[in-house]
């Protein structure tokens, strides 16, 4: 890159106020880029893109023309935050031009019932596209990690014919290969056995306050994946000041996410109380509380309820966030209390969650697992 290109880049970054100082001439395309950046980032400009739908639609088209998809997603989010462009999400024509990503889905969930009827179909398609992409990305690792752990736990050496794990059986009997018959005569048969009921129970208890948006989405995806696994009975509960059981919606994660209303207060005590009621096998249950632990209800009762759950044998894990967004804001005092009663407390990225669940379901030391994965509170 020569000096002329460097100056142009600085001119685009710093805005038109530096035009005279930098003394550079922009091409037609660079002038278009400059205008799209100015509409969003020039804080002295009154009105920005304005409330005009044509202006917003034109700007959305421009950023898709000038910038790669990864940058477009960032600029869309900045537009929503800086300019309060709800028109981007409430007009079907504009929503169709937006590049779907998990943050956009979180914004749609925040709007909830404010989305006009004419836009709901388009909004659903946007959510479905993101959900499908996430399931494709996350279902394989989740099923592999959890199924592998459960299969090892269920392994038996006297399986029925249709229960034989042939790969494992062959591997265990390679030393019994008979050259003259060109075959293996197995002395040991490895199988998984039939499971008449789920081996483990998982309860996802998710804070749906506004700050937890992307965590709710990832939780819904993982919940749907685990619900499709017969060896696990998965339940999903979301809460603000009320508690809603979305277990029946896990079969359709798009419907599930549309059933979530982000925002509002937080009553963790009420949520834990409900979870305690639906736990039927405490010694075989993993309860994952996904929350920043800011309690808007009765904090003392919330702490007592956490102690009761742990004392009953439920393996409780508190995730301060389930996303890729870095260190979360959280209630340090409640986090410290949870840690003192044996509840692991940390934030987890989506790529680590499958291994976390496998470790929890096999009753490994979760604090040790977190340490081995360089995860800290």
pTM over 0.75: no
Q: Is residue 146 part of a domain?
A: no
Q: Are residues 214 and 357 in the same domain?
A: yes
Q: Is residue 105 part of a domain?
A: no
Please count the other Cβ atoms lying within 10 Å of the Cβ belonging to residue 244. 17
Each residue's pLDDT tens digit, 320-338: 999 887 678 899 999 999 9
Each residue's pLDDT tens digit, 266-276: 899 999 999 99
What is the per-residue pLDDT for 222?
A: 92
Q: Say which DSSP state 49 is in.
A: T
The pair phi, psi for residue 61, each rounded to 5°, is -65, -40
For residue 168, the SS3 value is helix
Decide if pLDDT at 55 tops 60: no
Q: Are residues 163 and 286 in the same domain?
A: no
Q: Are residues 184 and 236 in the same domain?
A: no
Q: Are residues 176 and 264 in the same domain?
A: no
Q: Is residue 340 part of a domain?
A: yes
What is the per-residue pLDDT for 247?
A: 93
The domain boundary, picked from 51, 66, 99, lies at: 99
Q: Are residues 88 and 184 in the same domain?
A: no
Decide if pLDDT at 281 tops 60: yes
What is the per-residue pLDDT for 92?
A: 75
Q: Is residue 93 part of a domain?
A: yes
Q: Are residues 356 and 207 in the same domain?
A: yes
Q: Are residues 172 and 61 in the same domain?
A: no
Decide if pLDDT at 67 tops 80: yes
Positive or negative, the CA dihedral 302, 306, 308, 314 is positive
372 versus 188: the higher-pLDDT residue is 372
CATH at residue 324 = 3.40.50.410
Q: Say which DSSP state 329 is in.
A: P
Locate tokens 């993101």: which residue?
130
What is the per-residue pLDDT for 149?
A: 65
What is the per-residue pLDDT for 338?
A: 97
Q: Is residue 358 part of a domain?
A: yes
Q: Are residues 303 and 353 in the same domain?
A: yes
Q: Is residue 222 part of a domain?
A: yes
Q: Are residues 186 and 210 in the same domain?
A: no
Each residue's pLDDT tens digit, 180-230: 777 877 777 766 654 445 578 999 999 987 678 888 889 999 999 998 888
How many domains is the chain built from?
Answer: 3
The domain boundary, picked from 99, 133, 166, lies at: 99
Across 19-33, 41-55, 186-200, least confident range: 41-55
What is the per-residue pLDDT for 181?
A: 74
Of 261, 283, 250, the C-alpha closest to 131 is 250
Q: Are residues 72 and 46 in the same domain?
A: yes
Decide if pLDDT at 124 tops 90: no
Decide if pLDDT at 45 tops 50: no
Q: Which range in 113-127, 173-187, 306-320 is most confidently predicted, on average pLDDT? A: 306-320
Q: Is residue 129 part of a domain?
A: no
Range of the domain at 167: 156-191
Q: Is residue 356 part of a domain?
A: yes
Beta-sheet pairing, 200-207 with 232-239: parallel
Q: Which range in 67-81, 111-125, 130-144, 266-280 is most confidently predicted, on average pLDDT? A: 266-280
The domain boundary, picked from 99, 115, 132, lies at: 99
- Average pLDDT over every residue of 293-321: 95
């Amino acid at each position: 890159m020569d000096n002329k290109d460097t100056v142009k880049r600085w001119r685009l970054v710093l805005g038109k106020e530096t035009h005279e100082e930098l003394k550079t001439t922009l091409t037609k395309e660079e002038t278009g880029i400059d205008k799209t950046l100015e509409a969003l980032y020039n804080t002295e400009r009154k009105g920005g893109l304005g409330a005009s739908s044509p202006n917003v639609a034109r700007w959305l088209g421009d950023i898709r023309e000038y910038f790669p998809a990864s940058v477009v997603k960032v600029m869309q989010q900045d537009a929503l935050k800086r300019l309060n462009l709800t028109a981007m999400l409430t007009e079907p024509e504009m929503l169709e031009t937006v590049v779907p990503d998990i943050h956009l889905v979180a914004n749609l969930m925040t709007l909830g019932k404010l989305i006009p009827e004419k836009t709901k179909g388009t909004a659903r398609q946007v959510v479905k596209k993101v959900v499908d992409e996430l399931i494709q990305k996350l279902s394989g690792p989740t099923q592999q990690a959890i199924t592998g752990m459960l299969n090892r736990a269920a392994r038996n050496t006297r399986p029925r014919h249709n229960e034989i794990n042939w790969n494992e059986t062959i591997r265990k009997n390679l030393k019994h290969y008979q050259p003259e018959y060109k075959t293996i005569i197995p002395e040991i048969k490895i199988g998984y056995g039939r499971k008449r009921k789920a081996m483990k129970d998982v309860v996802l208890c998710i804070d749906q306050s506004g700050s937890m948006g992307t965590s709710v989405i990832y939780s819904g995806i993982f919940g749907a994946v685990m619900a499709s696994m017969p060896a696990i009975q998965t339940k999903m509960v979301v809460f603000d000041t009320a508690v809603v059981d979305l277990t029946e919606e896990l079969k359709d994660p798009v419907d599930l996410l549309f059933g979530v209303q982000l925002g509002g207060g937080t009553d963790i005590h009420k949520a834990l109380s409900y979870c305690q009621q639906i736990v039927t096998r405490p010694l075989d249950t993993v309860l994952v509380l996904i929350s920043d632990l800011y309690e808007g209800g009765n904090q003392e009762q919330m702490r007592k309820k956490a102690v009761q759950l742990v004392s009953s044998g439920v393996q409780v894990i508190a995730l301060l966030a389930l996303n890729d967004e870095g260190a979360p804001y959280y209630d340090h005092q409640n986090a410290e209390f949870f840690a003192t009663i044996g509840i692991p407390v940390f934030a987890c990225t989506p790529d680590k969650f499958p291994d976390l669940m496998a470790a929890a379901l096999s009753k490994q030391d979760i604090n040790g697992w977190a340490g081995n994965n360089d995860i800290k509170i």
